[in-house]
Structure 1
Amino acid sequence: MTSSANTKAPSFMPTYTKVWHTKVHPTISPTRPENSAKNKVVVITGGGIGTGAAIAKAFAEAGAKAVGLIGRRENHLKTSAETLSSISTSIKIEYAVADITDKSALESAFEKFEGSLGKIDVLVSNAGYLSDIVPLQKADDEDWWRGFEINVKGTFNVIKSFLFHAGSNAVFLGVNAGLATSSEPPGLSSYISSKIACARMLECMQAEHPEIRVISVHPGVVDTAMTEKTKVPPMDDASLVAGLMVWLAGPEANFMKGRFMWANFDIDELKERAAEIEKGNELRLGLLGLTPPEMFFKK
């Protein structure tokens, strides 16, 4: 596998590591033995298309025991499931049509998965929504709040269903947005606000459930319906976040509990700084310039 690293991040991108990636690289390869997903039951929301389908494919390549897909459109879920079946004949695959804002349908999907696949070891919360890109003053009320309905309430529903059906030492990985941690371009107030609310909710989840590994991830700028809406040209391959999710679900990533990271960061550099990250306030959301009381971050 060839390296995808640049010597540094693009000048307009914030970074945490010296090395920057745009596609899957050896350390996060789904076929790397250390990243094996053997015996794991994985559930992915928004798993029918885009990054969700790519993540499902990566877990199948990593040898997952079973994969459950949740999405709103059955045709996409069926296509994604067929792709997984072509990778491995031994993997169990189920899909359920459900909108994450529909608590009843979502819970039925999780009950179905536990009944047929078993307790959930890894949950990838990938479904999201980008409201129309317009200034606050011109925003359509319903569309603006729909960002919160899906990104916040929908994630809340996913978390609650997951906690009832999670296995021991489970992992919850939330696909977030780099904009929640960086600049504030005009017209994206709903998306930025809802995504940072979602990230903080996951931090609360981590504090309340130390037995679960919870991590927020910016997937990079990938070719999806959202990037089409923003008119921003894709800069990263979906294989990058797909491989990263597999690595984050593995044993090497335990020091990343409760953190927010970008898929572009170099994992080998993160591993070298594991003690610093685990014991300090690195890669946490907060107010710049403040030193939070130690008690707030006790495990």
Structure 2
Amino acid sequence: MSAYANSYLGRFSGRTAVVTGGASGLGKAVAARIVAEGGQVSLWDLDAEGLKAAAAEVGAAHTVALDVSDEAAVLAAGQAAHQALGRIDVLVASAGITGATAPVHDYPTDSWKRVFDINVNGVFYCCKAVAPFMLVNGYGRIVNVASVAGKEGNPNAGAYSASKAAVIGLTKSLAKELATQGVIANSLTPATFESPILEQLPPSQVAYMKGKIPMGRLGEVHESAAMVCFMASEECSFTTGATFDTSGGRTTF
């Protein structure tokens, strides 16, 4: 059982969640907390083997192996999750990639397109897939994982920075559309934290990002997971369209 099981026992009792990028990192940590706190989870990830292992570890009720950039697959996954869980109360859109590390004038176009396909289009498809189920019940919590890079921009990470800025803008728009219908949407803007996604980056880029954090260290996944779980809970009831920061002081707006 999760180490957090006694902290908020029952907070997600009777609630169901879809968590993308659930095979590792933040998605897996969030799923573990939701299950430990009484909820049921449908885990989605491209990594079928990792997904199977993560589902067993966290106690997921349902899994879907898919590429979130495939709209038809995402819409089908939404239907399957709803059928398996009976309802969908929470979406945590955590799936993402970093893309190439290069200045804009040398940035490979195929990497730019792939980053936007996953980080922006994938979030859009997931919101599109699950929001109708939330609207029927008059309740929902949507958490889209962005980044401090979407606020400040990181050099040599133009696609990632631009994609995360787009996630913030999409979330603000979505939140205003749903504000009177019981569905709340917010985004998370973490600084770099220990996660498998760091394996996609050269050490110099990781060192640069760590050097921008006033606390002088990388974040830990449980710190962002704790924030996400607040955002995904009933406790988050009068804040929508916001960006919740877990950046060690790097961004304060």
TM-score band (shorter)? 0.7 to 0.9
| 1:157 match | 125
- The structure whose Rg is larger is 1
2:185 aligned with 1:214 = yes
Question: Please, which moves more after superposition, 118-127 or 105-114?
Answer: 105-114
**Matched position secondary structure for 1:245:** helix
Rounded Cα–Cα distance in structure 1 between residues aligned with 2:237 and 2:94: 21
Question: Please, which moves more after superposition, 100-109 or 38-47?
Answer: 100-109
Whether the aligned pair in 2 keeps the contact of 1:173 and 1:217 (CA below 8 Å) is yes
Call closer, same or farther: CA 1:141–1:150 in 2, change over 3 Å: same
| 1:83 match | 57
**Matched position secondary structure for 1:218:** strand
Whether the aligned pair in 1 keeps the contact of 2:88 and 2:133 (CA below 8 Å) is yes
Deviation at 1:221, TM superposition (A): 2.0
**Which has the higher relative contact order, 1 or 2, with Cα contacts under 8 A spaced 6 or more apart?**
1
Call closer, same or farther: CA 1:162–1:215 in 2, change over 3 Å: same
2:173 aligned with 1:173 = no
List runs of 5+ in structure 2 lacking aligned partners.
208-216
Call closer, same or farther: CA 1:30–1:174 in 2, change over 3 Å: farther
Deviation at 1:34, TM superposition (A): 7.8
2:194 aligned with 1:223 = yes
- Give CA deviations for 1:205-238 in whole Å, capped at 9, x if unaligned: 0111112111100234222233231522671211
Work out which of the residue numbers 20, 23, 38 in structure 2 matches 1:63.
38
Whether the aligned pair in 2 keeps the contact of 1:136 and 1:187 (CA below 8 Å) is yes
Rounded Cα–Cα distance in structure 1 between residues aligned with 2:167 and 2:232: 20
Deviation at 1:265, TM superposition (A): 7.5
Rounded Cα–Cα distance in structure 2 between residues aligned with 1:154 and 1:179: 18
TM-score normalised by the chain length of structure 1: 0.72
What's the % identity of the aligned pairs?
A: 23
Call closer, same or farther: CA 1:63–1:230 in 2, change over 3 Å: farther
List runs of 5+ in structure 1 lacking aligned partners.
1-28, 86-91, 267-281, 284-299
Rounded Cα–Cα distance in structure 2 between residues aligned with 1:153 and 1:192: 15
Deviation at 1:78, TM superposition (A): 0.8
Rounded Cα–Cα distance in structure 2 between residues aligned with 1:39 and 1:72: 27
Deviation at 1:157, TM superposition (A): 0.7
| 1:43 match | 18
Call closer, same or farther: CA 1:217–1:123 in 2, change over 3 Å: same
Whether the aligned pair in 2 keeps the contact of 1:202 and 1:258 (CA below 8 Å) is yes
Whether the aligned pair in 1 keeps the contact of 2:141 and 2:233 (CA below 8 Å) is no
- What stretches of structure 1 move > 6 A for 4+ residues in a row? none
TM-score normalised by the chain length of structure 2: 0.85
- Letter of the aligned partner of 1:107 in structure 2? L
Work out which of the residue numbers 233, 239, 250 in structure 2 matches 1:256.
239
Rounded Cα–Cα distance in structure 2 between residues aligned with 1:31 and 1:218: 27
- Letter of the aligned partner of 1:252 in structure 2? E
